[in-house]
Amino acid sequence: MAEPVKVELGSVQQTLFIPLAGRARESARRHPVVRDPKAAEIVAAVDFDVEQYSQGWGGSITVLRTAVFDELVRDFLRHNPEGTVVELGTGLNTRFERVDNGRTHWIDLDLPDTIELRRRFFEDTDRRRMVAASVLDEDWLDVVHASPAPYFFVAEGVLVYLDETPTALARIAESFPGAQLVFDTYTKRMLDQQHKMAVKKNLAARWAWPCDDPRSLEPLGLEVVQEAAVTRPPAAVRSRLPRRFRYTLPVLKRIMGNVIAITLFRARTDTAHTPR
């Protein structure tokens, strides 16, 4: 039997186990909303208590979030089959495995310790490469420019951990006019709830960037193209939902409103905005 893979990650980096555990658990279901056998393989291979990041029913929300992101990436690839998808804060995500069309180019970016772990399970190819950098750095922008346009930046469960997110968004918008970006945002109320939950579960990672209204980000050089939420998935996702979600989602929406906004933006091509 292979030696278990050691995990040496910072506290925010460890949160990659939240979506990973969710996808692994979901894949064991008879009608999964996301199928990810590799996530289950990774969970079994690491020397780490993944259970502490397993979220019970909340894991289904994370999986649904992933299904919405997958659909938006697929849609980009339908229109731009040879473009470049840049997965920011990729963790151990297997989106490429789920949506690859055999022609797309792909960059998986994350902090150095996460990329070191990721390299134990994934390999670079002629269309796909890993980049060790912070979203908040600038050097990686040139790596993206060297890959074929058009560009689609995807950040799932990442930007909420960074209080400097607006600066990073403005930089991407300015460097890649016309590019699309999709990311999830969390209200101040959800952020306060996460802090309480983190204290209770003794987790060090704290959300740092609340966003009550994704449209408020437009002055950064972005325009909203499409608005979705985990409780309001795009039609293509809604039509494929397993029965358990069809019943629970409307109830959740009624009780909590739109949970986890997922917004698709385009970086403006005019220069009328002033990036901050």
Q: Which stretch binds ligand SAM (CB under 6 A): 12-20, 53-61, 140-148, 179-187?
A: 12-20
Indicate which single residue of 27, 80, 84, 90 sits in contact with ligand SAM (rule: CB under 6 A).
90
Instruction: CB nearer to ligand SAM: give 66 or 268.
Output: 66
**Closest residue to bound ligand SAM by CB:** 91
> Residue 15 has which token pair?
């949160």
User: What's the burial of 199, exposed, middle or buried (CB within 10 Å: 0-12/13-18/19+)?
Assistant: exposed
Nearest distance, CB of residue 134 and ligand SAM, angstroms: 4
Q: What is the C-alpha to C-alpha distance for residues 84 and 145, in angstroms, rounded to an integer?
A: 10
Say if residues 59 and 254 touch (Cβ distance below 8 Å). no
- From the list 26, 70, 71, 156, which residue makes contact with ligand SAM (rule: CB under 6 A)? 156
Does the footprint of ligand SAM cover residue 59 (CB under 6 A)? no
111 binds ligand SAM (CB under 6 A): yes
Contact with ligand SAM (CB under 6 A) among 63, 72, 117, 162: 162
Residues 68 and 108: their CA atoms lie apart, in Å, by 19
Span from 14-22, 170-178, 184-192, 208-216 in contact with ligand SAM (CB under 6 A) = 14-22
The backbone region for 91, taken as left when phi is positive above 0, alpha when psi lies in -120 to 50, beta otherwise, is left
12 binds ligand SAM (CB under 6 A): yes
Quick check: 158 binds ligand SAM (CB under 6 A)? yes
Give the number of residues in contact with ligand SAM, rule: CB under 6 A.
21
Q: Are 111 and 158 in contact (CB under 8 A)?
A: no
By the rule CB under 6 A, 194 interacts with ligand SAM:
no
The SS3 of residue 37 is: helix
Residues of this chain, 122-151, that bind ligand SAM according to CB under 6 A: 134-136
Rounded Cα gap, residues 237 and 6, in angstroms = 36
- Is residue 15 a contact point for ligand SAM (CB under 6 A)? yes
Nearest approach, Cβ of 18 to ligand SAM (angstroms)?
5
For residues 17 and 51, the answer to whether their CB atoms sit within 8 Å is no
Cα–Cα distances in angstroms (integers) from residue 140 to residues 116, 130, 219, 221, in the given order: 17, 11, 23, 20
DSSP summary character for residue 139: T
Residue 248 C-beta: closest distance to ligand SAM, Å: 21
Which residues are near ligand SAM by CB under 6 A? 12-13, 15-16, 18-19, 89-91, 93, 110-111, 114, 134-136, 156-158, 161-162
